[in-house]
Structure 1
């Protein structure tokens, strides 16, 4: 029995080693040669306090995603990959990163809905809402498309789509990197670590 247990343990070590060797060592996001200035428009966080992506993002890296809690597919896909990527960071790296989720559906995403949604992905995520015009204004300098949602006769909403990019804002209040919806947890973690290591 001991021999079998040792064999299983050895197999697990080899499997972990194989997974580790597959992690990318190069940057997979898109670095911005001309960074986007973080918007100064004030939105509202889930505690009811004003929050600006320019004034209140003081950590070395703030990861920003625009989405909505009723999104059936792409938003949870991106958020799962992103939260799993943040969980892969070591403690030192993780303390240097904030995650901000900006709703594109403020009519339904009030503070309570945002808080409940984000707590399902991780601790300490910042959720922002506000007037739709302000949310559109916040997305514009980041080149993020936010569509004005329309109520359907069925009672649902047609948001018509929104950008599914994730941006990384540095401590100089500039978006310096963009990730697409296909970025994996490993790629998020690797890229964020590389960005933090450059400072």
Structure 2
């Protein structure tokens, strides 16, 4: 999938204002055939002086009430386990050929730039949209190449789709193609939840550059208000 060029922050802020501070953003999907759309989410860049380079959300979404299985095969309650902690949440699947490994890899690179103290304050959570193939073992092996402390969750797809929908993210059932490959269409944005209220405040779209994550992660680790 081609990576989008980075828009200068000032231009992005001005653009948000020009559309009355409310835009319907198409969310990229990833699959074996490339990209498409996977729904829309309304966002608002309300503060021109925000310290974040990511997009500030006009609606602060609650962290999903989601219970799945982690990569050790144990039950994992997302709200309970990550409560009061900075959390980056992404939905995807391990056999995705494009945006999933790129996004998680970029976050992994940026996480390595944090101090040990900062890193301990950030949970990176990857929720599988293809749980039939993404077993705990498969997830762990895939995530280890990007971040050995990244959290992988898999389980009931109905629960996953409901949790994603509450965040404005559309997930479709995986499709097995004629050549045996799997396409899982899903929103490809990362949501950042702040520890102060466990709500999503910042959005990172597909194509976000590593430098943006490198800039924002220290702020997120400290829980700086958006």
Same fold, TM exceeding 0.5? yes
Aligned length: 174
More helix per residue: 1
Q: In 1, are the aligned partners of 2:62 and 2:199 still within 8 Å (CA)?
A: yes
Q: In 2, are the aligned partners of 1:104 and 1:135 still within 8 Å (CA)?
A: yes
For residues 118 and 212 of structure 2, the distance between their equivalents in structure 1, rounded to whole angstroms, comes to 15
Deviations 1:78-114 (A, max 9, x none): 1111111111112221111011111111111001100
SS at match of 1:88: coil
Gaps of 5+ in 2: 1-49
| Residue 66 (structure 1) aligned with residue 69 (structure 2) | no
Q: Which structure exhibits the higher relative contact order, with contacts defined as CA atoms closer than 8 Å and separated by 6 or more residues? A: 1
User: What stretches of structure 1 move > 4 A for 4+ residues in a row?
Assistant: none
| Residue 138 (structure 1) aligned with residue 163 (structure 2) | yes
Of 126, 139, 154, which aligns to 1:101?
Answer: 126
Aligned-pair Cα RMSD in Å: 1.8
Q: In 2, are the aligned partners of 1:42 and 1:52 still within 8 Å (CA)?
A: yes
1:163 equivalent in structure 2: 187
Mean CA deviation greater in 38-47 or 113-122: 38-47
1:11 equivalent in structure 2: none
Displacement of 1:170 in angstroms is 2.1
| Residue 40 (structure 1) aligned with residue 56 (structure 2) | no
Of 142, 152, 155, which aligns to 2:177?
Answer: 152
TM-score normalised to the size of structure 1?
Answer: 0.80
Q: In 2, are the aligned partners of 1:78 and 1:181 still within 8 Å (CA)?
A: yes
TM-score normalised to the size of structure 2?
Answer: 0.71
SS at match of 1:99: strand
Gaps of 5+ in 1: 1-24
Q: In 2, are the aligned partners of 1:83 and 1:185 still within 8 Å (CA)?
A: no
For residues 202 and 223 of structure 2, the distance between their equivalents in structure 1, rounded to whole angstroms, comes to 15
Q: In 2, are the aligned partners of 1:68 and 1:105 still within 8 Å (CA)?
A: yes
Displacement of 1:51 in angstroms is 1.8
Structure 1 residues 175 and 197: CA distance shift in structure 2, 3 A: closer
